[in-house]
């Protein structure tokens, strides 16, 4: 169906049969101007002239790409009525040659579609990773086309279009958050960074609490936050590592306002104790960064009887945040930043099996589900904490080359290590969300490289209102008695 070709080209092939007359189907699928009626990746499609559709007909498309609206063009280069249409598409990062053929089949029409897609610039290095998702999206697009044609009357106007190749590209540009895709790699970071301007904002005098700041992304974030003059507190499990990192940061940045607290964030008792110390000694917190996380390849339980992935990556985040909410509310405009993972796109959170008891344990899946839970909590908290003056956002760092990834996912690391990000690149959005004055204007979003992304791409990975309510209730039931939630707080109702 789809696969890699030589000369860095991806070829897609799809076919469908629809129970509509050939003449009507041809007119519908060879005219592009109504693509926005069924393709969510297209904001508008305008024919450049008023001439009859045929060779030379050109269409200007405006795409939806997060907050951006890039353009691309398509031109018909071959037009054989009721038989074949060939189109050439061009955008900044790719070109596509699409061929659509039509044949009568019984009382309906058989459509065959081929697309040769070639990337340029930094994306050309990732055709091997793009091919599988393009194949998947190609099949999705053609199913949508079939449904659209099925719903159209035989007398539908001589407008709109079929071009699943460009639909795939629009999807890719609007949803470049699929595991293994361009934006997860260092190429994605470099591409986005072209448009950034250096922020003049600082964190001078701001009290920042960071979990997991002794290694990997957290360590890189700690150095950067300190360089922004933050009063930085690191929560760490290992005293020797914490002392070493604190000394290194002070020496490197010249910022003396760096300290640490010890806690094992998989243990709720530790979290309660450290939160109490921070609240008592710091009085208020301006930024809380929930960065600590771990992937365990074998199911383990903590000394408190909790499954370790759930305890560390989801319940621990919930516990710490809820215990520090009063200190956060004491700041005039505080921020919570939750570090998730792009892997969460592949999984749905099972609210009936939060501790991974029932199915055979898979460490990567358990981790992804917990990180999905963190994103769900981000949206709930964003709504709940508005009244407290707290903004809440989540982010994911992309594919980052860290010792933790190399140890827990050695096969994955070996496959993509040549295109992985540095810890500093992975930490960039964390620091930007903490420091930039524009970042505080948004809440409840999911960020990669300083721009918001959708939280669901694959069908079946979303969460219903009742599931969010059940997740919230289960987590609240695990809070110790006497831990108050803000007045009126409950799960999202939207």
Task: Select from 311, 327, 348, 345 the least CA-distant residue to 475.
Answer: 311
Ranges of H-type helices in 201-255:
216-227, 239-253
Do residues 346 and 319 make contact, with C-beta atoms less than 8 angstroms apart?
Answer: no
Q: Quickly tell me which residue has 């520090």 as its tokens.
A: 324
Q: Quickly tell me which residue has 């809820």 as its tokens.
A: 322
Helices (H) and strands (E) counted in the chain, each on its own, are 14, 16
Cα 360 to chain centroid, rounded: 26
- Sign of the CA dihedral running 468, 473, 474, 480: positive
- Which tokens is 465 given? 């209102």
> What secondary structure letter does DSSP report for 285?
-
Ranges of H-type helices in 110-163:
127-151
Do residues 15 and 164 make contact, with C-beta atoms less than 8 angstroms apart?
Answer: no
Q: Who's near 86: CB < 8 A, 6+ residues apart?
A: 76, 77, 78, 79, 97, 98, 99, 100
Known active-site residue 74:
no
Task: Select from 426, 298, 428, 420 the least CA-distant residue to 367.
Answer: 298
- What is the edge-to-edge ordering of all strands in the sheet holding 390-395? 258-262, 231-236, 207-211, 287-290, 334-339, 390-395, 446-448, 451-453
Torsion of CA 483, 487, 490, 493, to 10 degrees: -170
Do residues 93 and 119 make contact, with C-beta atoms less than 8 angstroms apart?
Answer: yes
Do residues 166 and 61 make contact, with C-beta atoms less than 8 angstroms apart?
Answer: yes
Query: What is the set of active-site residues?
Result: 367
């Amino acid at each position: 169906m789809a696969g890699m070709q030589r000369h860095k080209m991806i070829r897609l092939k799809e076919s469908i049969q629809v129970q509509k007359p050939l003449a009507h189907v041809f007119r519908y699928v060879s005219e592009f101007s109504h693509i926005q009626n069924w393709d969510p990746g297209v904001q508008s499609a305008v024919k450049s002239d008023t001439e009859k559709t045929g060779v030379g007909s050109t269409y200007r498309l405006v795409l939806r790409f997060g907050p951006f609206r890039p353009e691309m063009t398509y031109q018909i280069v071959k037009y054989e009525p009721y038989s074949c249409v060939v189109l050439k598409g061009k955008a900044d990062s790719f070109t596509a040659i699409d061929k659509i053929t039509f044949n009568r089949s019984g009382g309906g029409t058989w459509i065959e579609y081929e697309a040769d897609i070639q990337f340029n610039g930094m994306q050309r290095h990732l055709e091997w990773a793009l091919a599988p998702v393009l194949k998947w999206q190609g099949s999705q697009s053609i199913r949508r086309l079939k449904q659209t044609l099925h719903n159209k009357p035989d007398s539908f106007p001589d407008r709109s279009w079929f071009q699943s190749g460009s639909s795939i590209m629009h999807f890719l540009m609007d949803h470049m958050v699929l595991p293994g895709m361009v934006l997860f790699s260092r190429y994605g970071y470099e591409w986005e960074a072209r448009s950034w301007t250096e922020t003049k904002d600082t964190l001078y005098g701001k009290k920042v609490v960071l979990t997991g700041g002794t290694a990997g992304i957290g360590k890189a974030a700690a150095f950067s936050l300190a360089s922004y003059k933050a009063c930085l507190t690191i929560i760490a499990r290992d005293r020797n590592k914490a002392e070493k990192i604190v000394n290194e940061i002070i020496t490197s940045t010249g910022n003396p306002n760096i300290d640490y607290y010890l806690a094992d964030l998989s243990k709720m008792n530790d979290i309660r104790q450290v939160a109490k110390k921070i609240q008592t000694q710091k009085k208020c917190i301006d930024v809380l960064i929930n960065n600590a996380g771990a992937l365990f390849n074998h199911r383990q339980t903590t000394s408190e009887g909790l499954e370790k992935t759930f305890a560390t990556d989801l319940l621990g985040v919930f516990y710490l945040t809820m215990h520090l909410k009063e200190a956060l509310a004491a700041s005039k405009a505080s921020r919570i930043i939750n570090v998730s993972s792009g892997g969460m796109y592949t999984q749905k959170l099972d609210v009936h099996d939060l501790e991974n008891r029932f199915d055979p344990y898979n460490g990567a899946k358990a981790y992804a589900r917990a990180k999905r839970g963190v994103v769900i909590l981000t949206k709930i908290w964003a709504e709940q904490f508005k009244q407290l003056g707290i903004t809440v956002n989540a982010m994911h760092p992309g594919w980052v080359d860290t010792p933790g990834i190399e140890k827990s996912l050695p096969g994955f690391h070996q496959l993509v290590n040549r295109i992985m990000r540095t810890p500093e690149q992975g930490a960039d959005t964390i620091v930007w969300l903490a420091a930039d004055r524009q970042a505080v204007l948004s809440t409840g979003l999911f960020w990669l490289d300083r721009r918001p992304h959708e939280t669901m791409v694959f069908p079946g990975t979303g969460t219903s209102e009742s599931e969010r309510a059940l997740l919230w209730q289960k987590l609240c039931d695990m809070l110790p008695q006497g831990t108050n939630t803000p007045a009126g707080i409950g799960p999202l109702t939207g």
